[in-house]
Amino acid sequence: MTLSAVSRAARLAAPLLAVLAAGCATPARKASADIAQPIGEVLSQPAKDLNLVREAQSPTLVTAYANPYGEAGRGCEQIVAEIRALDAAIGQDLDTPGWKASVESQTPGAFAHDAVRDLVGLPFRGVVRRISGADRRDRVSRAMVVSGVARRAYLKGRGQAAGCAPPAAPSPVPVSPKP
């Protein structure tokens, strides 16, 4: 990236960041928080790409990654506790009321993220991520989430076999014919 491209990106980003900062300085509003968090993520992305900033992994996901089909709790309460910990780490399960609306909602933060994402970044990002180890770290993080999903499904199956009620077992969810 040339100096003129950096200068142009800074000139374009400055007014947007000023508006976002002013929005964050107003009285507490959910919209400001929805915008500020994704902008912070976008601005910290180059440091993540260089593997200088690492997010801590959830202990629940680390355990699920190590052994997704390991021994489950003996009682329904233990299964519920582990399922709730997984829900906190990876989000709602598909049999939770409202999961689809939470996935499909468009927040002001998502719009701001898209607006700023292209202004901040590294040239040859893919190569830099591979060399720095950030790419491998992200692959492991995604594998941990997949292991968490598998662990939650396994626990719900064990809960159902033990006669537990939801959330320790799957909830009956009506299937919608629309995508």
Specify the pLDDT at position 108.
62
- Average pLDDT for the chain: 73
**What residues in the chain have per-residue pLDDT under 50?**
1-3, 5-31
| Tokens 């190569």, located at residue | 127
Specify the pLDDT at position 1.
46
Specify the pLDDT at position 104.
66
- Rounded Cα distance between 141 and 163, Å, is 33
Specify the pLDDT at position 32.
53
CA nearest to 109, candidates 56, 43, 32 = 32
| Tokens 């040859």, located at residue | 124
| Residues 90-104 pLDDT 10s | 988 988 877 766 666
